[in-house]
Structure 1
Amino acid sequence: MKYNDIASLIESLSGRDLAILESLRTHRALTTILIRRLHFPIGDEPRETGDSKRHATEMAAAVATIRVLTRLESHRLISRLHRRIGGVRAGSTGIVWQLGASGERLLRARHGDAARRRYSEPSPSFIAHTLATADLAIRLYELARRDRIELLRLEAEPDCWRTYLSAHGARQWLKPDLFAITARGDYENHLFIEADNATEHSPVIVRKAMQYQQYANSGIHQKEHGLFPAVAWIVPDSKRKLAIQTALSNEPRLRDLVTAGLFYVVTTDEFSALISGAPGSPGHA
């Protein structure tokens, strides 16, 4: 089927189709399985926005996911990267998707964006970090669907970036991977999130932590929200966790934030517990 204009193309798409495109716009790249988790709920999982329905089994959801993605690909709304996560053996679950030419044009028109966003084949390291960040975002959505938390706000890059003035008056950028505000009962959690793939040396982590300290000292965030968020590094394993904890604790210039308990280092498996923990967890208001 051919479409002569953006308006008729939008009308041909379901709510779930558009939600998938918006997810790719937000997160830049997603695997088939991440899209499945976000838009094709199973059994008693709550539904996502749009017209998605629950599927009886994970297999049924997987089949429906690849069917929809293939259809969107045929209209150049999305495209698959050449590299698969997990290699050929991963099958369709390891396919990495990004917006295609028509999808980028459609969303640009829908949002009134003038600047064209070009999509090319990213580097393996960029994709690995992008997918790790997207996985954490989707875990937050899943916690909210299961009523473990209220997800009041979630910003991905570049919306989560913050600007401030250094001590010398120069404009600086703080670039977290995600910013989230969640709630449980009467408590709110404010959190900057760093997705760590154990690819950077400890001095790089310390420099990033120093940026958070400088941003905290500017008082900009506290003026708007009444508190400074906690900062969480989400790491792949306990060895990496210990390495980052040690690096942060051994830096005298970070002592105030470390002592205040505003820096957290947890593994990916511990992330959900950190987010849905009882009062006293990071960044409570």
Structure 2
Amino acid sequence: MTQTGHDRVLYAQSFLTDRDLRLLDWLYDHQVLSTAQIAAALFNRYPPAQERTLRLYRLRLVERFRSPHLPGPGWYHILDRTGVEVIAALRGDAVPRVADMTAQRRRIATSPNLPHLLGVNQFFIDLIAYARRQPAAALLRWWSERQCAAPLRFGMVSMYRVRADGHGIYEEGDRRVGFFLEHDRGTESVPVLVEKAQRYEQLVTEGGPAWPVLFSLPDRGRERLLHEALGRQPRAIPIATMARDRLRPDVSVADAVWLPTGASGAPEPPRRLIDLGGLGDPADDAALMRLDRRPFRP
């Protein structure tokens, strides 16, 4: 531990690696990750991730917890006070009050929305893990629901109509796809999902990007119901679905698991994520500079 009078942020920074900073940065934006998710995204094996997160816990950079409502015996990690202060200093953000940071940690750990948040984060972790194995692939952007909803995040287009669970830009070779993610746990009716799709269409009519909206669904039965409800009429924005019960341990969300909606005639074969980029607006640098108030840097 630090000696009395020493700056705990400067002390902790002396032990941090680039990989540690990436993890803290993710937790700052995306709130919570399991040890298994951290291992998949940043390490080759589970034990080194376990050892490193324990080190960060002892430095008070992360806090950890278990929950009887979450699967598996492992730990779930959120930023502790020092971790918040480290990332806030790097970004130039104001540091929340200690009481507010404590309340935030407790809200995350006890939230009934926690399984949904972990499911959203798992989607992006899967893409990052896939890109670790494929040198030509990269997840260039990973934004949370809160980041998507920030004012002027997409230029002058207001996102008040939609509450995307996440937004990403994924690249393979010289191809790129921008997308919005809707992670469904089967707790909402299918008409509610259709209404969400319609809100994205309204966003496009107001000048928003016509990037694919990806519905990650729990099973093939619910996927079939959503396709039937959306029908086959042309839409202003591409919509594709994935049934998570179709995923095997050796299959990634980057693979051919996506079914575009609105197809006519015989069912189309599933498409790879990168192939969905051809269905909507480009996610090239020029388009992103027009929409993103901040400079786009892959």
TM-score (norm 1): 0.75
> Which of 216, 220, 243 in structure 2 is aligned with 1:267?
243
Could you give the per-residue CA deviations for residues 81-118 of structure 1, whole angstroms, max 9, x where no partner exists? 3415655xx333xx211111221122222211115253
Contact 1:21 1:103 in 2 (8 A): yes
Between the aligned residues of both structures, percent identity stands at 25
Tell me the residue number matched to 2:179: 191
Q: 1:37 to 1:85 in 2, by over 3 A?
A: farther
User: What is the aligned partner in structure 1 of residue 31 from structure 2?
Assistant: 28
- Indicate whether 1:178 and 2:159 are aligned: no
| Distance 1:152-1:109 versus aligned 2 partners, 3 A rule | closer
Match of 1:119 among 102, 105, 108: 105
State the Cα RMSD in Å.
2.8
Structure 1 Cα separation of the partners of residues 20 and 53 of structure 2: 9
Q: Does 1:106 align with 2:106?
A: no
Say whether 1:211 aligns with 2:199: yes
1:247 aligns with one of 229, 239, 243: 229
CA 1:108/1:172 → structure 2, altered by over 3 Å: closer, same or farther? Answer: same
The one-letter amino acid paired with 1:111 is R
Relative distance call for 1:279 and 1:131 in structure 2 (3 A) is closer
Per-residue CA deviations over 1:205-248 (Å, capped at 9, x if unaligned) read 12211210110111133xxxxxx101110112111211222232
In structure 1, the gaps of 5 or more residues are 42-60, 165-169, 222-227
Q: Please give the alpha-carbon distance, in whole angstroms, between the structure 2 residues aligned to 1:108 and 1:163.
A: 20
Query: Residue 241 of structure 1: SS of its match in structure 2?
Result: helix
CA offsets 1:235-268 (integer angstroms, 9 cap, x no match): 1211121122223228xxxx441xx671111123
Which sections of structure 2, spanning at least 5 residues, go unmatched? Answer: 153-157, 259-271, 283-298
Tell whether the 8 Å contact from 1:162 to 1:173 is kept in structure 2 after alignment: no
3-state SS in 2 of match to 1:172: coil
Is contact 1:188–1:283 with CA below 8 Å preserved after alignment? Answer: no
Cα distance in 1 for residues equivalent to 2:83 and 2:277? 43
3-state DSSP class of the match of 1:76? coil
Report deviation, 1:186. Answer: 4.3
2:148–2:159 CA contact under 8 A, matched in 1: no
CA distance in 1, matches of 2:126, 2:239: 20
Contact 2:190 2:226 in 1 (8 A): yes
Give the TM-score normalised by the residue count of structure 2.
Answer: 0.72
